[in-house]
């Protein structure tokens, strides 16, 4: 059972009393403003803070300021390694700016996206990093609450809202061009229905530009199982592709499992180029040739946009093709 007398944490008033100053002065030194404090006074306050092990109550501050110092982050599923790395990086980046991060995996919740955003709004998060696009109505609502928003990794910028993204079609194109350079002539595509366009267009452009016919296209889910399924479908085809561009490393991992289970080999029976460049991609067999998204730079730019509060930001970051063995390159 819980012990009876729980000593309450020190408050700003306790500190003020001990230091012999007013509450306001304690606030001034804790926040380094907005008014100046004499050096001697400041020292006394600091001593008192230390002696009492005082930590400002973040909820009181949030109420008073009308805004917390928490950022919210919306991803589809933080178990996907790419999102996991984004969240991890965003966490570090937010901390560096004195903010905490509250992450929600929107997929797999019984609540709608709007309801999940509402929860964050109720907590008065100061900013929101979202991999979901928002409708003008949603943006208006968020803005009405004074919440800054930045949308990341969407194929295109939403007007009037800061966005940080990567040139998805260009990234896909470099991967497919690399596959073409290997001499593969029948290049398939695996992607997800919802986000199909950007990466798929990159694939289609590269294939067409090389004067080749479009290979088979499989649309599935962004998941391990989706990738596995896609692999199965591809392998069952009467006329199999000799290479495939897969829209995410997680899908590639699933697809690889399907190929192995069929007793076939990558790249000999089916070459593969992937997208994301998560750490795991180097540890799969074979190691993935993949388009690396600059996770640290994405989150850094996103947090910067939140902090700067400039709605006209549209940062487009470059991707980088990481060549490993799944495409057929030598070790």
Partner DNA sequence: CTGAAAGCGCTTACAG
Where along the sequence are the contacts to DNA (CB under 7 A)? 8, 11-13, 20-25, 27-28, 30-31, 34-38, 40-42, 54-57, 60-61, 63-66
Residue 308 binds a copy of itself, judged by CB under 8 A:
no
The three-point CA angle 314-320-322 to 5° equals 155
34 binds, among a copy of itself, DNA, none (CB under 5 to 8 A by kind): DNA
Residue 213 binds a copy of itself, judged by CB under 8 A:
no
Confirm if 174 and 158 have CB atoms less than 8 A apart.
Answer: no
Residue whose CB is less far from DNA, 69 or 221: 69
260 binds, among DNA, a copy of itself, none (CB under 5 to 8 A by kind): a copy of itself
Q: Shortest Cβ distance from residue 116 to a copy of itself (Å)?
A: 9
Q: Shortest Cβ distance from residue 64 to DNA (Å)?
A: 3
1 binds, among DNA, a copy of itself, none (CB under 5 to 8 A by kind): a copy of itself
For residue 72, list its beta bridge partners.
102, 128
Residue 55 binds a copy of itself, judged by CB under 8 A:
yes
Q: Among residues 287, 296, 304, 321, which is the contact residue for a copy of itself, using CB under 8 A?
A: 287
Please write down the HEC assignment for all residues of the chain. Answer: CCCCCCCCCCCHHHHHHHHCCCHHHHHHHHHCCCCCCCHHHHHHHHHHHHHHCCCCCHHHHHHHHCCCCEEEEEECCCCCHHHHHHHHHHHHHHHHCCCEEEEEECCCCCCCHHHHHHHHHHCCCCEEEECCCCCHHHHHHHHHCCCEEEEECCCCCCCCCCEEEECHHHHHHHHHHHHHHCCCCCEEEEEECCCHHHHHHHHHHHHHHCCCCCCCEEEECCCHHHHHHHHHHHHHCCCCCCEEEECCHHHHHHHHHHHHHCCCCCCCCCEEEEEECCHHHHCCCCCCEEEECCHHHHHHHHHHHHHHCCCCCEEEECCEEECCCCCCCCC
287 binds, among DNA, a copy of itself, none (CB under 5 to 8 A by kind): a copy of itself
Candidate segments 42-50, 120-128, 178-186, 299-307, binder of a copy of itself by CB under 8 A = 120-128
Q: Shortest Cβ distance from residue 271 to a copy of itself (Å)?
A: 17
Q: Among residues 22, 310, 318, 320, which is the contact residue for a copy of itself, using CB under 8 A?
A: 310
Residue 84 binds a copy of itself, judged by CB under 8 A:
yes
Q: Which two tokens stand for residue 61?
A: 């501050």
Q: Binding to a copy of itself (CB under 8 A): which residues in 148-207?
A: none
Candidate segments 77-85, 177-185, 196-204, 233-241, binder of a copy of itself by CB under 8 A = 77-85
Residue 260 binds a copy of itself, judged by CB under 8 A:
yes
Q: Which residues bind a copy of itself (CB under 8 A)?
A: 1-3, 6-9, 55-60, 62-63, 68, 70, 77-79, 81, 84-85, 87-88, 91-92, 95, 100-105, 108-109, 111, 118-119, 121-124, 143-146, 224, 228, 253-254, 256-257, 260-261, 279-280, 282-287, 309-312, 331
């Amino acid at each position: 059972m819980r012990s009876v007398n729980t000593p309450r944490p020190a408050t700003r008033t306790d500190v003020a009393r001990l230091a012999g100053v007013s509450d306001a002065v304690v606030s001034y030194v804790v926040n380094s403003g907005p008014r100046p404090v004499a050096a001697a006074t400041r020292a006394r306050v600091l001593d008192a803070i230390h002696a009492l092990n005082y930590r400002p109550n973040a909820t009181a501050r949030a109420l008073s300021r009308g805004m917390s110092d928490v950022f919210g982050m919306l991803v589809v599923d933080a178990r996907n390694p790419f999102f996991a790395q984004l969240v991890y990086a965003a966490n570090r980046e937010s901390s560096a700016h004195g903010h905490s991060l509250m992450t929600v995996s929107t997929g797999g919740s019984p609540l709608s996206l709007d309801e999940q955003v509402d929860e964050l709004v109720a907590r008065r998060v100061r900013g929101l990093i979202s991999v979901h696009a928002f409708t003008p109505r949603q943006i208006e609502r968020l803005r009405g609450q004074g919440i800054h928003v930045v949308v990341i990794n969407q194929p295109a910028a939403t007007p009037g809202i800061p966005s940080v993204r990567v040139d998805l079609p260009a990234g896909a194109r470099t991967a497919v061009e690399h596959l073409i350079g290997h001499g593969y002539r029948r290049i398939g595509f695996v992607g997800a229905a919802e986000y199909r366009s950007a990466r798929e267009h990159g694939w289609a452009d590269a294939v067409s530009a090389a004067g080749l016919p479009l290979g088979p296209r499989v649309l599935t889910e962004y998941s391990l199982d989706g990738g596995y399924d896609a692999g199965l479908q591809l392998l069952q085809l009467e006329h199999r592709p000799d290479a495939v561009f897969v829209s995410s490393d997680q899908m590639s991992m699933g697809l690889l499992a399907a190929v192995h289970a069929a007793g076939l080999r990558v790249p000999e029976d089916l070459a593969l180029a992937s997208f994301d460049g998560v750490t795991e991609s180097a540890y799969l067999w074979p190691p993935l040739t993949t388009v690396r998204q600059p996770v640290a730079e994405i989150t850094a730019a996103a947090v910067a946009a939140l902090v700067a509060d400039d709605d006209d930001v549209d940062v487009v970051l470059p991707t980088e093709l990481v060549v490993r063995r799944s495409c057929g390159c030598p070790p």
